[in-house]
């Protein structure tokens, strides 16, 4: 009989984040996980996801779990990996991406992350799919990484991103002294965005935990940083090397709007779609109830959460089974990108 040394094991279990008003932190991730599971799975913690899908970093889906949970309230995971006679297929192409996206169509999530570099064949698939989810009143955006052969290739790819892009990244992030792969860097950025109130911008804001970036880009005329910035690709630079402060230069996206505008737009549309009224009997009072609920949503978005300046909308009964809600306009505050300081020097 072998004596056993008594011991106590302490496990750090992360607390689940809650989607409070103004938050849109539910991430859907499509990638290669070390499992033959083909159905979408929802996880509330890192531990749950890793227990089910493994921790093998050679599978990109497994590799990004911890980074996404930096700010995610939940992960809806869809596996594209397949196994045959001990050989795994992990590549994401247009066909298996479309198949994976179809499995979560109509579900309520906020941000899509594809655990692979986005090519010119994958981005149109994502954009077309998010067009459909927008029409279904389940609007969402995507965060992804580009790894083109050149700056020009990345700029071309960004031009395919359309209206639903929240962030594109081409740089590797160093987080707390450790340089992450490009895909894990994108996942970390996605997690940070998920953990932000939708009304927050990243323009000229420091990225929490980021202590370095590769490559460091030039923003002079002709520099790669300037070209990527103008294409709506999120670029990171050092603002204060002594204190390790790395900022996003400008979070304007390929559609010409800031990250916060794209996120707030989707948040408002989702809130004002009033999914809870579907299936209700359409009595006369129902229209009044809809108006009251829309007024509540507007007041919360404009006055309580300060997500936008104003929302103008109309509501009308179109038939015995249909209520029409038209959001005529959402008014946003602009982002300050230039400050002029005038100095007068007097010598007595």
What is the distance between the alpha carbons of residues 236 and 186, in angstroms, rounded to a whole number? Answer: 12
**What stretches in the chain show pLDDT beneath 50?**
none
What pLDDT, on a 0 to 100 scale, did the predictor assign at position 278?
77
Among 52, 37, 30, residue whose Cα is nearest residue 99: 30
Question: CA quadruple 40, 15, 138, 62: dihedral positive or negative?
Answer: negative
What pLDDT, on a 0 to 100 scale, did the predictor assign at position 336?
86
What pLDDT, on a 0 to 100 scale, did the predictor assign at position 148?
82
* CB-CB contact of 246 with 205 (8 Å): no
* CB-CB contact of 83 with 206 (8 Å): no
* Tokens at 203, concatenated: 């323009």
Query: SS3 for 61?
Result: helix
**Inter-axis angle of helices 284-299 and 259-272, nearest 10:** 160
Q: Which residue has the tokens 């490009």?
A: 182
> What domains are there in the chain, each with its CATH number?
26-257 (3.30.1490.450), 274-331 (no CATH)
What pLDDT, on a 0 to 100 scale, did the predictor assign at position 2?
61
pTM above 0.95, yes or no: no
Q: Which H or E run contains 125?
A: helix 122-135
What is the distance between the alpha carbons of residues 200 and 261, in angstroms, rounded to a whole number? Answer: 9
What pLDDT, on a 0 to 100 scale, did the predictor assign at position 320?
77
* Tokens at 332, concatenated: 């946003």
Sequence-separated contacts (24+) of 128-133 with Cβ below 8 Å? 129/98, 129/101, 129/105, 130/162, 130/164, 131/162, 131/163, 131/164, 132/105, 133/105, 133/106
């Amino acid at each position: 009989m072998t004596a056993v040394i008594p011991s106590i094991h302490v496990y750090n279990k992360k607390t689940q984040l809650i989607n409070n008003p103004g938050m849109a932190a539910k991430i859907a991730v499509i990638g290669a996980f070390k499992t033959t599971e083909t159905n979408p799975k929802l996880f509330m913690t890192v531990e749950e996801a890793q227990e089910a899908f493994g921790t093998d970093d050679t599978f990109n889906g497994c590799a990004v779990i911890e980074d996404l949970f930096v700010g995610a309230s939940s992960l809806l995971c869809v596996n594209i990996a397949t196994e045959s006679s001990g050989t795994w297929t992990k590549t994401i192409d247009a066909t298996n991406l479309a198949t994976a996206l179809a499995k979560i169509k109509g579900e309520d999530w906020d941000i899509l992350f594809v655990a692979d570099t986005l090519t010119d064949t994958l981005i149109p698939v994502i954009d077309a799919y998010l067009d459909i989810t927008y029409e279904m009143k389940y609007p969402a955006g995507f965060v992804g990484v580009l790894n083109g052969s050149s700056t020009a290739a990345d700029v071309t790819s960004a031009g395919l991103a359309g209206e639903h892009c929240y962030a594109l990244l081409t740089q590797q992030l160093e987080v707390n002294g450790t340089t992450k792969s490009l895909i894990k860097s994108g996942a970390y950025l996605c997690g940070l965005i998920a953990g932000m109130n939708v009304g927050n911008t990243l323009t000229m804001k420091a990225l929490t935990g980021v202590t370095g970036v590769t490559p460091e880009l030039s923003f002079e005329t002709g520099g790669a940083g300037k070209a990527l910035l103008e294409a709506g690709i999120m670029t990171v630079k050092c603002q204060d090397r002594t204190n390790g402060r790395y900022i996003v230069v400008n979070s304007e996206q390929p559609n010409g709007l800031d990250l916060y505008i794209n996120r707030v737009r989707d948040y408002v549309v989702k809130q004002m779609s009033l999914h809870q009224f579907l299936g209700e009997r359409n009595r006369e009072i129902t229209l009044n109830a809809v108006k009251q609920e829309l007024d509540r949503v507007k007041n919360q978005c404009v006055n309580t959460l300060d997500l936008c300046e104003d929302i103008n909308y109309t509501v009308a009964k179109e038939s015995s089974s249909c209520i029409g809600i038209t959001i005529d306009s959402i008014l946003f505050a602009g982002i300050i990108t230039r400050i002029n300081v005038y100095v007068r020097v007097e010598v007595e």
